[in-house]
Amino acid sequence: MYDFEGETGHGGDGTMPSRSLLLLELPRWIGEYAASSTLDRVRPRRGIGSGRPVLVLPGFSATDGMTGRLRSHLDHRGFAAHGWGQGRNIGLTDTLIDGLHARFEDLRTRYDQPVSVVGWSFGGVLARHLAHTYPDDVRQIICLGSPWRPDGERTRATAMFEKSREKHGISDRARPIVEQLRQPVPVPTTAVWSKSDGVVPWRGCMVDASSDPIAENIEVVSSHVGMVASPLTLMATVDRLSQDPNGWQAFSWRTCASGQGAPRTEVSA
């Protein structure tokens, strides 16, 4: 994320992803996108999501167009997936922060129920912010390759953050927001990450697993850009969005794979 101190620290185990992984991002994404798109065309639609709302937040410098594959898959599984409608994600400006809040509040009012938030990369960092800001209105968050830890903030995209900061400015609220979102999230939280991520250090994306509040890690094999298109990531995302916060079941790939065609039964509070 932002280098508030003007330092040049490193993420995770002291190194950023290798240059070879970075160069493989585009070809891997093409394959991941094609694979999940093909699977959706051959699988029948399922009402697993029961029309529950999901707000999908794009990564830094990305737009809703880049999360279209993910939102299409969620719609295919019966969720009501929505983009954030804020154009390109340029970082923590006042306009972006206020627009994000307005978009969330609109969906919460429209559906009259808590909203799940799925954030990709920096979008997952914003999802953590929403969870802290609206703890009673966020059903759960899922962070896809989102480096939220201080020791994971130096990424292959850090220079882009600084350039955007020079061009667009940054809100006075930015640093307090970052400090807050690094605290334990008060809603069920799932961190999805890949050791072969070519942009962010995967250790900086992990959460400290706990049962109260719920926090869990799911490792996938995926590129960073492909986090919003990889079949494995999409499968895990649907599985977690299908969970009832009042009857949460720990993630397992076996259960996830076997439960893709059947809706879950909600547990009454």
Fold classified for 19-41+55-245: Rossmann fold (3.40.50)
Measured CA to CA, the distance from residue 191 to residue 141 in angstroms comes to 9
Measured CA to CA, the distance from residue 48 to residue 264 in angstroms comes to 7
DSSP 3-state of 158: helix
Task: Answer whether residue 3 shows pLDDT above 90.
Answer: no
CB 234 within 8 A of CB 73: yes
User: Which range (15-19, 53-57, 80-84, 102-106) has the least confidence?
Assistant: 15-19
Task: Using alpha carbons, list the distances in angstroms from residue 83 to 66, 71, 80, 133, 149.
Answer: 10, 8, 10, 19, 25
Measured CA to CA, the distance from residue 124 to residue 126 in angstroms comes to 5
* Rounded average pLDDT over 253-267: 63
Task: Using alpha carbons, list the distances in angstroms from residue 110 to 79, 81, 97, 106, 147.
Answer: 15, 13, 20, 6, 31
CB 2 within 8 A of CB 159: no
User: Which range (8-12, 130-134, 176-180, 181-185) has the least confidence?
Assistant: 8-12
Task: Answer whether residue 95 shows pLDDT above 60.
Answer: yes
pLDDT band, residue 79 (cuts 50/70/90): very high
CB 157 within 8 A of CB 246: no
Q: Where are the beta strands (DSSP E) in 159-263?
A: 189-193, 210-211, 214-219
Partnered with residue 55 across adjacent β-strands are: 82, 117
CB 181 within 8 A of CB 92: no
* Mean pLDDT estimate for the chain: 89
Tell me the pLDDT tens digit for each residue of 200-257: 989 999 999 998 889 999 999 999 999 999 999 999 999 999 999 889 999 999 888 8
Tell me the pLDDT tens digit for each residue of 7-57: 544 444 447 888 899 999 999 999 999 999 999 888 877 788 999 999 999
